[in-house]
Structures are given as C-alpha cells and as structure tokens.
Amino acid sequence: MTVLAAPTEQFDAALTNDVILHLDAQLASARRLLAIVLDQGVAIRARDVQQVVAQTGLLQMELQRRAVIERDRARLLERAGVLLRVAPGAITIGMLDAVMDPRLAPQARAASAELRGLLEEVQREHHVNRVLMSQELAFLDHLLRLADTDRNLGYDAAGDHSRATAPRLAARHRVLDVEV
C-alpha cells in the first residue's frame, strides 16, 4: 500500500508579514491623503486661503512619507520577484498568493482592493480641487484686471511684467447708480 504525502505548501512567512504590514502602511497613508484632500476642498469652497495653504503643506508632507512607502514597496516586489522568478514590475497581488501564507493572502488581496479604491477617490477629489482652484484663480485674475486702471498686471510669455500684454481697459469705469 502506498501512502500519499500531504502536499506541503511553500510560503515565505517573512514576506507575507512584510506585505501585510506594507499594505497597512499604504492604507493609513491613503486615508490621510483622502482626509487632507477633502479638507482642502472644503477650504477652497470656503475661500479660506490660510487653510488651503495649510492643507497643501500637509499634502506635501504626506507625499514625502509616501515616497518612503514606495521605496519599501519596490524592495518587497524585488524580494517577491526573486522568489517568483518574475520582474518586480510585473508582479500582481494575485501572483503573490504563490509565496504568501494562504491564510493571509485573502487579507492582502482585500487590502490591495481597498487601497486601489482609496487612491482612485484621492485622485478624483484632487482633480476636483484643482478645477476649483483654477476657477478661483481665474476669477481673481479677472477682478485684478478690472481694478488695474494703470494696466500694470500684464505679463508676457516669459512671465515678465509687460504693459504690452495687459488688456486695454478704460481709464474710468462707469457704474449705473440708480435709486429706487
């Protein structure tokens, strides 16, 4: 009688742990980014310049933190690439199943999906904020041009102050003042 050995699954416990910890760090960072971008949107809508600037500073700090997280990600992908014999850039979360603890792989897949969703939301909200800021700046530019009776607000293509590029505005503005 032949005894069949139970299949042994080879997985890298250290890599599994590092991937889970890395995804947790990515999620925490993405949540902070989303909170910052949402707060920045509120400040833009309220025309609270100081708060917009403060949120922009927080955004820059979080992006610097993310640079460290991305370096860690690259190292994890290199480790997994060696185990899988695949180029690091080609590795997907599904491919990591082959080298991760099968009990924790579903947790990693769920975290990865959540991360993708958060980053898409951050990107969408950031785009909305950029559009709002563009509109606010265009409106401010319009107001400044109306107020510039000396026509000194024009700039040429190089960004130099130039009277030649300023729009021709009347020296006086006429306003209808009617009492009802």
Cα(39)–Cα(45) distance, integer angstroms: 10
Cα(136)–Cα(8) distance, integer angstroms: 62
Position 174 scores a pLDDT of 54
Query: Given pLDDT bands bounded at 50, 70 and 90, which one contains residue 88?
Result: very high
The DSSP H or E segment spanning 47 is: none
Position 72 scores a pLDDT of 97
Cα(24)–Cα(20) distance, integer angstroms: 6
Question: Does pTM top 0.75 for this prediction?
Answer: no
Q: Which tops the pLDDT comparison, 161 or 76? A: 76
pLDDT (average), residues 125-129: 96
DSSP-derived letter for residue 74 is H
Position 151 scores a pLDDT of 60
**Radius of gyration from C-alpha coordinates of the chain:** 27
pLDDT in tens, 31-69: 999 999 999 999 999 999 999 999 999 999 999 999 999
pLDDT of 158 strictly over 80: no
Domains contained in the chain, CATH given: 13-147 (1.20.58.300)
